[in-house]
Structure 1
Amino acid sequence: MGIPDRTMFMDTYAAQANYHMHRFGTTQRQIAAVAAKNHTNGAANPLAQYRFAMTVDEVLADREVSYPLTRAMCAPVGDGAAAAVVVCSERALTSLPEAVRERAVRVAAAVLRSGVYRRPDEVSLSRVAADRAYELAGMKPEDIDVAEVHDATAFGEIYQAEMLRFCDVGAGGPFVAAGATALDGRPPLNTSGGLLSKGHPIAASGLSMTHEVVSQLRGEAGPRQVRDARVALVENGGGIMGLEEAACCVTILDRR
């Protein structure tokens, strides 16, 4: 039976956030900083569902969904579709027109992992997928210039910054609050506005995240453009299994 104005997914994310706050000292204001940054990015994205900037205080003042999450910290579920994405082999690429070849982006790694019922203090399946993706691509976290991560809630960006090894486990709150994931940060995360602003049409979400980073690598992201972006990462999860997603895919794209 459903509970008005909330979902099991938001309660699960809230439980994860509360555990992180209790164990590492992460604050609600740090989580709000993620939402404020992503809403600001989304205001510059013509494809975003929510195109308005927010301050940290405005995020905190919004209606509570499931503590510590307010409405502004939760992604809206929307309708969406994706099309016209072409994936081909390197051999096939050589037969295509030069104008197509010039815009091609190489898939350096794509790793899918299934979830498990884990303890709260165990790393997520996104860590397992990311480590394998780095290995296959012959890269390190420091090589990533821009990334889109699954922020169904603002806490997700804090957590995935840790799981993708952009910062130490437990350090995600101060990391994002210091601006490390802003457009001029290292690495910028969710330049599209993330799912928080761009919207979360579930099955189409992952491809919309890929569209954003490909636009970044091609230098076509307009006011959201990250300077000299050559390598990008997408982390996307789906479903729910205990404390985490039932499946997670980490993809690394290379335009060098």
Structure 2
Amino acid sequence: MSDVAVIGASMTKFGQRDAWIQELLAEAGEQCLDDADVAPHELEHLYVSNMASGEFEGQTGVPNALAHDLAAMPAYTQRVDQTSSSGGAGIYAAWQSIASGASEMTMLVGGEKMTHRTTGEATDVIASLTHPVEYKQGVTLPSFAGLTARLYLDRFDAPRESLGKVAVKNHKNGVRNPHAQFQKEVDLETVLDSPIVADPLRLYDFCPITDGSAALLFCPAEKASQYTDEYAVISGIGGATDTHVVHERADPTTMGGVVESSNQAYEMAGLDPDDVDVAELHDMFTILEFLQMEGLGFAPKGEAWKEMDKGTTGIDGDRPINTSGGLKSKGHPLGASGVAQGYEIYKQVVGEAGDRQVDADVGLACNVGGFGNCVTTAIMEGRR
């Protein structure tokens, strides 16, 4: 099995874009090829992470069209859909294509076009990933988040302000990210006074509806130096599935998919949580940052909020989390989000993160589908 390197990366501006899905994908793909100085005809595999281009735009066959738009024929193409963790699943698929020896040059492009639909329409598309038993009762992902947040706060005696501080931190980080949808700081009072969405969570505890795309380029690690002096190696990766029906879980505050997928990644990399310098977590809701921190081993059970209060997760802390601004500030174009997490970790470990650069040799990205229904965790180590 070959070691797998990431030799190029790109991310488009996230937010409300006039471009449609094919244009967004092509924009990121072209930028990624340029970043690594690789010609389109060198691609052997081309993966597209996308959850719902058919539902949002009536557009299918997006990988084939992208190969045409990039002049990447006759590369093998494949769409990867794992709901809101499609990007992470795409990283896993691209890693497999190189590690297996099936390809020596693979590109992953993730993207979603969402903002042209009303909030209700977009929410309905996203809610379709819930189990039919729950969906017909009107249960949505925000309601899962609210119920779990209330359980967490009550069980672990955590102050409501601790969740608000997640939003404040990630908005502050987003100001440093030129690609982020929101580049404006918010204070704790604003977060706590915003409208209630699913008690105890308020408007600023949720990520926005977003358009955008991102891309990563992969090759065997032994060939990476032919293209660049600075690259990242995917030293560990894992994927796992939890119960699709959330109420069947023994403990809703434990994300089993996060625990299992990270254990796989740590074992493959020969690392443990203390070795991780920086992490990108799937903060679709602020409570998810705490649940993932604990599932990944960054904090004991019920104590992630204490690390937040101590400043551990700030950009100047001992383990910065969501230096990109996270989904909360950067935005959440479903199929692109996991790829954009990979983009941020790649930039951090090769020392190209600009104003948000931290001291990082090892980075971790955790991409979550639904409310922990499916999870991919990837570890990258810099080589420079």
Same fold (TM over 0.5): yes
3-state SS, counterpart of residue 81 of structure 1: strand
Residue 186 of structure 1: CA displacement?
A: 2.1
> What stretches of structure 2 of length at least 5 have no aligned partner?
1-118, 128-139
User: Is 1:206 paired with 2:338?
Assistant: yes
Output the CA distance in 1 between the equivalents of 2:121 and 2:214. Answer: 31
Residue 114 of structure 1: CA displacement?
A: 1.2
1:197 paired residue number: 329
1:89 paired residue number: 220
Residue 82 of structure 1: CA displacement?
A: 2.1
Picking from 224, 234, 248, the partner of 2:365 is 234
- Read off the aligned partner of 1:89 and give its amino acid letter: P
Residue 92 of structure 1: CA displacement?
A: 3.5
- Maintained 8 Å contact 1:74/1:196: yes
- Maintained 8 Å contact 2:152/2:253: no
> What stretches of structure 1 of length at least 5 have no aligned partner?
none
User: Is 1:253 paired with 2:380?
Assistant: yes
Shift of the 61–134 alpha-carbon distance from structure 1 to 2, 3 Å rule, reads: same
Shift of the 121–206 alpha-carbon distance from structure 1 to 2, 3 Å rule, reads: closer
* Residues 203-242 of structure 1, C-alpha deviations (whole Å, 9 max, x = no match): 1100001111111112121221112x10000000113xxx
Residue 90 of structure 1: CA displacement?
A: 2.2
2:230 paired residue number: 103
- Maintained 8 Å contact 1:5/1:65: no
Output the CA distance in 1 between the equivalents of 2:122 and 2:153. Answer: 24
2:171 paired residue number: 39
Output the CA distance in 1 between the equivalents of 2:121 and 2:153. Answer: 26
Aligned alpha-carbon RMSD (Å): 1.9
User: Is 1:60 paired with 2:192?
Assistant: yes
State TM-score, norm by structure 2.
0.61
Output the CA distance in 1 between the equivalents of 2:120 and 2:337. Answer: 25
- Read off the aligned partner of 1:233 and give its amino acid letter: L
Output the CA distance in 1 between the equivalents of 2:223 and 2:272. Answer: 29
Aligned length: 245
Output the CA distance in 2 between the equivalents of 1:179 and 1:171. Answer: 13
- Maintained 8 Å contact 2:148/2:253: no
* Residues 12-65 of structure 1, C-alpha deviations (whole Å, 9 max, x = no match): 111111111121112210000110000110011100001100111111111111
1:160-171 equivalences in 2 (<5 Å): 160-171=292-303
- Maintained 8 Å contact 2:148/2:252: no
Percentage of matched positions with identical amino acids = 33
